[in-house]
């Protein structure tokens, strides 16, 4: 191929131009370059790259990028014959979540509390160097699936008819690796292809939304949050009463009865939805969705289903005979989220041990974690604005863009502030319905003020202030 060099002249305004036609032949992306010339340039560059690599002793190879394995989706048409599995919380939380899931139309089962055998299975089938919560929770799922197999179910049937739902998030601790660890252990234990759906701390289900089997809508979110809150309250009241009960075991007996009762309340909860003529009229003006949302929020804020049920639970707990003249030290338990929550071998049965040593245990509610997540969201967007990220870094003369960014920023802050207020209000409302003997949730902004001098509140992940 012969290349004829065109005469080049200098133009101070547009760089170098071809003197024959006055058009700019310089191009940073090669789109305006003659294809033959560009091909020749690319060939010479490749030859030069190979020569330099040989001189430097570098052996090049084709890079094979990692791609996540293809997951079999859980779709809406599979709900009738697919059981949702979950775990990792206290038995009280899990029993109420079962009721919430069943009320939304899902078949669901909470897997048992992890034990030492679960831990050993997690170490056997998982990666080396993981933390105890990972081994306990991952091994617990494997143990449960093995128990189904021992009862006569084939592995194909187990994989086809079950889905595991778990939490996950990004961050420096093992929490960001949960999904991968579950998949690795399932593959190594012979359950390759078992579906794991990640319900992320940072928002939503990591699954294709179209015809999703687990629908993340307002009903789902409210039901799960209510189950979390009431589970916190059952646990808190149980630990308040148990050390002072006159009849040993009475608190656990009443707790079981009332958890079953509230499970049924959550299962049978009706969901607000416009129907019939009103539905047709509102859909014509495209207001049916808005009215449904408003109705659901109104029912949540002012409905009596949960508070009425908790009033009955309160009366049942009040019938337990206690001796308040017993002197007990109060022991507050805090720390890593799972280890300070589980009620089994994962924390050496810490709560029962402390009660056996004549202590009253003060447990940390899941509600504190939910508030912390909301606080983190607001802190993150404030931090992004303060360091001038791209969406805020606009020229001074673009007042329209600056105004739009400010409005977007304050809309996010206001939305999350309303969510914080609503969550705290609902938590306190349910707590008062149960008797009001529990502590209110801690103010995250007061914790920020107290903690920042000792632990930078911008640090997060496995630890936090």
For residue 60, the model assigns a pLDDT of 64
What span, in angstroms and rounded, lies between the C-alpha atoms of 88 and 341?
A: 9
Q: Where are the alpha helices (DSSP H) in 275-340?
A: 276-284, 288-302, 305-318
Pseudo-torsion of CA 331, 332, 336, 337, nearest 10°?
120
Task: Give mean pLDDT in consecutive 10-residue pieces for the chain, a chain of 465 residues.
Answer: 43 43 45 77 89 80 71 85 94 97 95 96 93 93 98 96 83 68 94 85 42 83 96 97 97 98 97 87 86 93 96 98 96 90 94 96 94 92 76 74 87 95 96 94 93 86 66
What span, in angstroms and rounded, lies between the C-alpha atoms of 325 and 197?
A: 49
Q: Which pTM was predicted?
A: 0.81
| Interstrand relation of 8-11 and 15-18 (parallel, antiparallel or unpaired) | antiparallel
Where exactly are the structural domains of the chain?
A: 8-56, 76-216, 229-326, 366-451
**SS3 of 27-38:** CCCCCCCCHHHH
What number of other Cβ atoms are within 10 A of residue 379's Cβ? 16
Q: Where are the alpha helices (DSSP H) in 303-443?
A: 305-318, 350-356, 366-386, 399-433
Q: 236, 231, 225: which is closest to 439 by C-alpha?
A: 236
Contact 163, 195 (CB under 8 A): yes
């Amino acid at each position: 191929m012969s290349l004829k060099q065109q005469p080049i002249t200098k133009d101070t305004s547009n760089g170098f131009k071809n003197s024959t036609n006055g058009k700019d032949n310089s191009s940073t992306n090669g789109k305006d370059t003659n294809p033959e010339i560009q091909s020749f340039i690319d060939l010479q560059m490749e030859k030069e790259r190979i020569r330099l690599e040989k001189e430097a002793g570098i052996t090049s190879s084709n890079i094979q990028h990692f791609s996540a394995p293809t997951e079999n989706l859980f779709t809406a048409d599979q709900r009738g014959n697919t059981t949702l599995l979950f775990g990792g919380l206290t038995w009280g939380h899990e029993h109420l979540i079962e009721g919430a899931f069943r009320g939304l139309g899902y078949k669901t089962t909470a897997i048992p509390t992890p034990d030492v055998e679960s831990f050993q299975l997690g170490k056997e089938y998982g990666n080396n160097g993981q933390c105890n919560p990972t081994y306990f929770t991952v091994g617990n799922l494997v143990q449960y699936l093995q128990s189904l197999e021992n009862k006569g179910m084939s592995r194909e049937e187990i994989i086809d008819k079950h889905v595991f739902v778990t939490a996950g998030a990004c961050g420096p601790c093992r929490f960001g690796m949960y999904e991968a660890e579950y998949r690795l252990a399932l593959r190594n234990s012979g359950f390759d292809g078992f579906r794991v759906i990640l319900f992320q701390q940072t928002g939503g289900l990591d699954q294709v939304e179209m015809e999703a089997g687990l629908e993340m809508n307002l009903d789902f979110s409210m039901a799960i949050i209510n189950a979390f809150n009431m589970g916190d309250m059952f646990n808190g009241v149980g630990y308040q009463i148990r050390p002072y009960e006159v009849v040993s075991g009475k608190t656990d007996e009443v707790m079981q009865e009332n958890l079953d009762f509230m499970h049924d309340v959550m299962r049978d909860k009706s969901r607000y939805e416009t129907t019939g003529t009103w539905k047709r009229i509102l859909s014509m003006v495209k207001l049916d969705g808005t009215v449904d949302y408003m109705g659901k929020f109104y029912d949540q804020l002012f409905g009596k289903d949960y508070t009425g049920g908790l009033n009955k639970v309160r009366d049942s707990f009040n019938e337990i005979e206690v001796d308040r003249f017993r002197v007990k030290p109060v022991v507050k338990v805090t720390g890593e989220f799972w280890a300070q929550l589980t009620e089994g071998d994962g924390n050496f049965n810490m709560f029962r041990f402390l009660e056996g040593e004549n202590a009253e245990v003060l447990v940390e509610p899941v509600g504190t974690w939910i508030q912390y997540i909301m606080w983190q969201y607001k802190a993150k967007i404030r931090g992004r604005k303060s360091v001038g990220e791209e969406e805020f870094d606009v020229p001074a003369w673009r007042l329209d863009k600056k105004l739009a960014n400010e409005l977007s920023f304050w809309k996010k802050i206001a939305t999350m502030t309303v969510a914080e207020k609503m969550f705290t209000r609902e938590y306190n409302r349910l707590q008062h319905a149960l008797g009001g003997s529990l502590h209110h949730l801690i103010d995250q902004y007061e914790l920020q003020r107290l903690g920042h001098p000792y632990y930078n509140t911008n640090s997060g992940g496995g630890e936090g202030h």
